[in-house]
Structure 1
Amino acid sequence: MSRSVEGTLEQPLELPPRTENKDLLGLYKDWQRRKKMVRKNRAWILGIIFLAVVWSWYATEFTLLYLISGAGNIAAFIATDLFPPDLSSIPMFIGPALETLYMSYAGMVISVAISLILAFLIARNMKFHPIISFICRSIVTFLRAVPALVWGIILVSAIGLGPFAGMVAVALSGVGILGKAFSDIVEEIDMDQVGAVKATGANWFQVVGQSVWPQFKSGFVGWSLYKLDLNIREAAVLGMVGAGGIGIVLERSISLFQYQEAAMGILMIFALILLVEFTTAKIRERIL
């Protein structure tokens, strides 16, 4: 018995091979490889951006010296022709300014209602029929690709002059922007919450109301109010093509070289935008 024990003790113990250093070395090499890849991709991106800037610089014939030399003429035009604004023309701009506000608000409501439906049909995590999702996504992409000014020109030719054409143009442009924004917000929600509500046996509307809407509400309100702010700018420009609003009066003043009246119109647009921004900020604070 003792001999067997002694023989056992005399035998060398077999230790497991040390793999910690090899694992660490492999991780370090993988980290170095990834770091080189990131640097290489970053260099490519910066190079492409630099080439795009140089190409745009030469394609537009941009000259910094010419811009500096023209600054004096711009300042002289503003000081002598544009200012002071013609305060007597304020009553002439009040009605068109309110018309611009009506167009912007009505266009925002229509675009929000349509975009809200399209967003759930487009969002990949909502898992609607792929053909329906593809068609809706194509519609939103097409509406986003066409500027509001182009919609205004088309609708003025089809419908006629007036604020209705401008309102429809703003609404179509809004569907293109809000449809994409809303669908991105829906795709970024936490699906674990959705799965938890589904596990309780809730139907589709209950799932949307209890798990999707609480996560979606903040982005929905923010983008909707932001689009109202954008609509004011778009509606002001649409008036210049006959689609109603303050742009019609502004374009007429510029065409008749009444630049002081035009300055008053620009200040009215600025005041309108400030009013809308202040109002939307208060609404956002109340809702959220």
Structure 2
Amino acid sequence: MGMQAEKLEPLKVEAEKTNLLSELKRRKKALLFNKVMIWSLLAFLVVWSWIGTNFSLSFLYTGITNITVFIFTNLLPPDFSAIPRYINPALQTLYMSYVGMVISVVLSLFFGVMAAKNTSFHPALAFASRSVITFIRAVPAIIIGMIFVVALGLGPLAGTLALGIGGVGILGKAFADILEEIDKGQVEAIRATGASWFQIMGQGVWPQFKTGFVAWSLYKMDLNIREAAVLGIIGAGGIGYTLQGNINLFQYKQASVGILMIFALILIVEFTTAKIREKIL
């Protein structure tokens, strides 16, 4: 019996090797099949979208040619005599962006804390807060701006409120996601001492949340500059309103000055927020 078992042992090992190789081949075939299916799906979506948008390389070539001609004949060189007309609207854009950021941060902090499962008071409240954040994020800022322009009239107040309310969709989700990713061990350790909800938030949550909070808040200020320029087109104040006026009057060389000033504002805000982030963090 012992000798027979010794003779059968190599056969068992060989059978196991055969089964292992067949399993590896099967997995490789399944992996290859999955890759082929994924790439086929992506190719189908590209072709479908290409046809659906009436995309054409000939039109693209013509469009690039027209854009190049427009830039170098109509936009350039900029008419720098229009700079004084853009100074006050540029400052107005900065005011709108800053106040809008403050409104967004305050509201988003509330909805973000209530939306995060580990900081909310109740799952139903977390779901309701997530729903509010998602709804606001689904509505473009320019639509929110149009609503406020109709309700409050033309001017920076409508644009500021649109930036403030519209920012909740981005910051609220970011804050909630950051809160749900914090180390729960620290929070549970503080909770085990009998600390209140505010003590838990201040000592266990805030130290971990602060970095993301500051980074996203300052990033929203950068985004607000660009959004404020777009909101000005619908009469919500800021540099976009003056820019749209020049475009409507076909004063493209003056409009190019507005574009350059928007670029300068974004650079200034980017540099300033980077320095603030270095000091705070």
Q: Same fold (TM over 0.5)?
A: yes
- Corresponding residue number in structure 2 for 1:243: 236
SS at match of 2:78: coil
Task: Give the paired residue count.
Answer: 274
Instruction: Give, as a single letter, the amino acid of the residue that structure 2 aligns with 1:65.
Output: S
Matched, 1:270 2:270: no
Identity of aligned residues (%): 59
Instruction: Give, as a single letter, the amino acid of the residue that structure 1 aligns with 2:260.
Output: L
**Distance in 2 between residues matched to 1:104 and 1:177, nearest whole Å:** 15
How far does residue 40 in structure 1 lie from its aligned partner after superposition?
4.9
1:92 to 82, 85, 107: 85
SS at match of 1:185: helix
Q: 1:157 to 1:30 in 2, by over 3 A?
A: farther
Counting only pairs closer than 5 Å after superposition, residues 123-162 of structure 1 correspond to structure 2 as 123-162=116-155
Counting only pairs closer than 5 Å after superposition, residues 159-178 of structure 1 correspond to structure 2 as 159-178=152-171
Equivalent pair of 2:234/2:241 in contact (CA under 8 Å):
yes
**Distance in 2 between residues matched to 1:247 and 1:32, nearest whole Å:** 61
Q: 1:228 to 1:61 in 2, by over 3 A?
A: same
Q: CA RMSD in A?
A: 2.6
**Distance in 2 between residues matched to 1:238 and 1:99, nearest whole Å:** 12
Q: 1:193 to 1:251 in 2, by over 3 A?
A: same
**Distance in 2 between residues matched to 1:213 and 1:135, nearest whole Å:** 23
2:45 to 41, 44, 52: 52
**Distance in 2 between residues matched to 1:26 and 1:220, nearest whole Å:** 54
- Corresponding residue number in structure 2 for 1:252: 245
Instruction: Give, as a single letter, the amino acid of the residue that structure 2 aligns with 1:281.
Output: A
CA deviation digits over 1:125-177, x for unaligned, max 9?
22521222222111111100000011111111111100000011111110011
Instruction: Give the TM-score, by structure 2 length.
Output: 0.88
Counting only pairs closer than 5 Å after superposition, residues 95-114 of structure 1 correspond to structure 2 as 95-114=88-107
**Distance in 1 between residues matched to 2:195 and 2:21, nearest whole Å:** 49
Instruction: Give, as a single letter, the amino acid of the residue that structure 1 aligns with 2:180.
Output: E
How far does residue 123 in structure 1 lie from its aligned partner after superposition?
0.8
- Corresponding residue number in structure 2 for 1:63: 56
1:206 to 194, 199, 208: 199
How far does residue 58 in structure 1 lie from its aligned partner after superposition?
1.1
Instruction: Give, as a single letter, the amino acid of the residue that structure 1 aligns with 2:227.
Output: E
**Distance in 2 between residues matched to 1:134 and 1:275, nearest whole Å:** 39
SS at match of 1:124: coil
Bigger Cα Rg: 1
**Distance in 2 between residues matched to 1:35 and 1:170, nearest whole Å:** 51
Instruction: Give, as a single letter, the amino acid of the residue that structure 1 aligns with 2:201.
Output: V
CA deviation digits over 1:9-32, x for unaligned, max 9?
xxxxxxxxx9xx799999988887
CA deviation digits over 1:168-192, x for unaligned, max 9?
1111110011111110111111111
**Distance in 1 between residues matched to 2:253 and 2:84, nearest whole Å:** 14
Instruction: Give, as a single letter, the amino acid of the residue that structure 2 aligns with 1:197.
Output: I
Q: 1:26 to 1:79 in 2, by over 3 A?
A: same
Instruction: Give the TM-score, by structure 1 length.
Output: 0.86
Equivalent pair of 2:159/2:236 in contact (CA under 8 Å):
yes
**Distance in 2 between residues matched to 1:42 and 1:256, nearest whole Å:** 54
- Corresponding residue number in structure 2 for 1:192: 185
**Distance in 2 between residues matched to 1:27 and 1:193, nearest whole Å:** 45
Q: Which runs of 5+ in 1 are unaligned?
A: 1-17
How far does residue 39 in structure 1 lie from its aligned partner after superposition?
5.2
**Distance in 2 between residues matched to 1:122 and 1:35, nearest whole Å:** 42
**Worse-superposed segment, 21-30 or 191-200:** 21-30
**Distance in 2 between residues matched to 1:116 and 1:32, nearest whole Å:** 52
**Distance in 1 between residues matched to 2:180 and 2:24, nearest whole Å:** 31
**Distance in 1 between residues matched to 2:159 and 2:180, nearest whole Å:** 32
**Distance in 2 between residues matched to 1:224 and 1:85, nearest whole Å:** 34
